[in-house]
């Protein structure tokens, strides 16, 4: 049972946060959601930080001062809030890079998302929200199967949205994960602004181990920049409104440059002795024309416009041969949602499977 003192302090915190809701955040970084809700739900455990929270750590004090100066938060309210935050060692384990020598396997990764459950539930979700999906597709120019597939990869259509307290996950990564601390401090700031602007208790929201929220697993910065009220109830709610999730996914892709009517990728044809490493090192953003690729020994059996920018995408497959294809602009756009070629291709393959399953 919550003590009267603790309840009073929490109510005071919410009052302080909501009173200063007039100032919006300056966004400073692109964000992308992660498809890790299933892992976070399975790995959520009891936090192990000290019982007084993290409010007195120097880096946290500096962060609170910055929030007070830039966004007019009350420092006393923030100190009370962060006194209740617990860092999560399991978050750091989950986000850690793969160990040296680990062989990525496209086949294994793909099988996680092209499974009977997602295909069955995707068909149900598409049928149940067909009008909303069609409206989002028409408004933003994104194919309906891509919208449905992203939601399926992220949370199996809202079935698995993560069990980590968002503020604990973001604080852990903001202050105990130097590799990407700046990014997660920005996300923590956006989270506090989001909860303040919408009068949500910041201690209550739960999500993935990376701090992603709701049916589409948006990071807080993406919620503030790209989420939409697509069901017309004057509230953006990605946790319980499938319509808001559908519209927000479509808008995210459109805002990141989705090209309506264009494909995502083409088949790659590697000639004997092809030199692929310089193309792989060039990254996944399309920048090569077909004539340039041919100079490296890379072509395609597909018909491709001569001036269309492309990238050579590689999908390592364990001990099996690497899978190659040519990524177009829309493939790159999907990687803005999650910056992984494996992720983007899994979305595309699931989209194809969902579309095929709907045919009479």
Residue among 349, 126, 171, 150 nearest 251 (CA): 150
Give residue 227's pLDDT.
Answer: 98
Supply 196's token pair.
């303040």
Give residue 321's pLDDT.
Answer: 96
- Give the count of alpha carbons within 13 A of 243, CB side only: 11
Cβ-Cβ contacts under 8 Å for 244 (sequence gap 6 or more): 227, 228, 229, 230, 231, 236, 237, 238
d(CA 211, CA 31): 12
Give residue 53's pLDDT.
Answer: 87
d(CA 74, CA 196): 12
Q: How far is CA 238 from CA 26, 138, 228, in A?
A: 22, 20, 9
d(CA 86, CA 46): 9
Per-residue pLDDT of the chain (360 residues; tens, 9 = 90+): 434 334 334 434 443 444 333 333 333 333 333 344 444 434 443 444 455 689 999 999 999 999 999 999 999 999 999 999 999 999 999 999 999 999 999 999 999 999 999 999 999 999 999 999 999 999 999 999 999 999 999 999 999 999 999 999 999 999 999 999 999 999 999 999 999 999 999 999 999 999 999 999 999 999 999 999 999 999 999 999 999 999 999 999 999 999 999 999 999 999 999 999 999 999 999 999 999 999 999 999 999 999 999 999 999 999 999 999 999 999 999 999 999 999 999 999 999 999 999 976
Residue among 188, 182, 211, 152 nearest 349 (CA): 152
Supply 114's token pair.
């092209």
Cβ-Cβ contacts under 8 Å for 309 (sequence gap 6 or more): 286, 287, 288, 289, 328, 329
Active-site residue (options: 154, 262, 285, 295) = 154
Give residue 43's pLDDT.
Answer: 41
d(CA 334, CA 328): 11
The domain locations on the chain are 4-81+88-95+163-231, 265-327
Q: Hey, which bits of the chain come out as E strands?
A: 164-165, 206-207, 265-267, 269-270, 298-299, 311-317, 320-327
d(CA 54, CA 80): 10
Whether 154 is a known active-site residue: answer: yes
Please, which residues bridge with residue 217 across strands? none
Eight-class DSSP state of 149? H
- Whether 72 contacts 41, CB under 8 Å: no
The fourth-level CATH superfamily of domain 4-81+88-95+163-231 is Bacterial muramidase (1.10.8.350)
What would the DSSP string read from start to end of 310-338?
BEEEEEEETTEEEEEEEE-HHHHHHHHHS
d(CA 233, CA 248): 15
């Amino acid at each position: 049972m919550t003590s009267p003192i603790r309840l009073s302090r929490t109510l005071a915190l919410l009052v302080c946060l909501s009173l200063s809701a007039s100032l919006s955040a300056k966004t400073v970084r692109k964000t992308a959601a992660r498809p890790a809700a299933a892992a976070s739900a399975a790995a959520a455990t009891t936090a192990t930080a000290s019982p007084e929270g993290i409010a007195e750590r120097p880096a946290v004090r500096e962060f609170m001062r910055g929030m007070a100066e830039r966004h007019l938060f009350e420092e006393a309210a923030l100190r009370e809030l962060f006194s209740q935050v617990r860092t999560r060692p399991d978050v750091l384990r989950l986000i850690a890079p793969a160990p040296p020598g680990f062989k990525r396997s496209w086949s294994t990764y793909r099988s996680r998302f092209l499974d009977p459950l997602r295909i069955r539930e995707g068909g149900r979700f598409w049928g149940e929200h067909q009008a909303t999906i069609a409206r989002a597709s028409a408004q933003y120019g994104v194919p309906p199967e891509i919208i449905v597939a992203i939601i399926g990869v992220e949370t199996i259509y809202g079935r698995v949205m993560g069990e980590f307290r968002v503020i604990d996950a973001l604080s852990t990564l903001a202050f105990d994960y130097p590799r990407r601390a700046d990014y997660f401090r920005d996300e923590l700031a956006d989270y506090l602004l989001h909860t303040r602007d919408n009068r949500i208790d910041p201690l209550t929201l739960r999500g993935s181990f990376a701090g992603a929220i709701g049916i589409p697993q948006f990071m807080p910065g993406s919620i503030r920049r790209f989420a939409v009220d697509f069901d017309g109830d004057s509230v953006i709610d990605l946790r319980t409104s499938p319509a808001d999730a559908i519209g927000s996914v479509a808008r995210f892709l459109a805002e990141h440059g989705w090209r309506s009517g264009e494909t995502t990728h083409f088949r790659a044809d590697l000639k004997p002795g092809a030199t692929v490493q310089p193309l792989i090192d060039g990254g996944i953003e399309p920048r090569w024309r077909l004539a340039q690729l041919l100079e490296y020994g890379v072509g395609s059996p597909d018909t491709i416009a001569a001036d269309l920018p492309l990238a050579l995408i590689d999908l390592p497959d364990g001990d099996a041969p690497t899978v190659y294809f040519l990524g177009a602009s829309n493939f790159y756009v999907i990687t803005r949602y999650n910056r992984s070629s494996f992720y983007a291709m899994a979305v595309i393959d699931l989209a194809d499977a969902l579309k095929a399953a709907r045919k009479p």
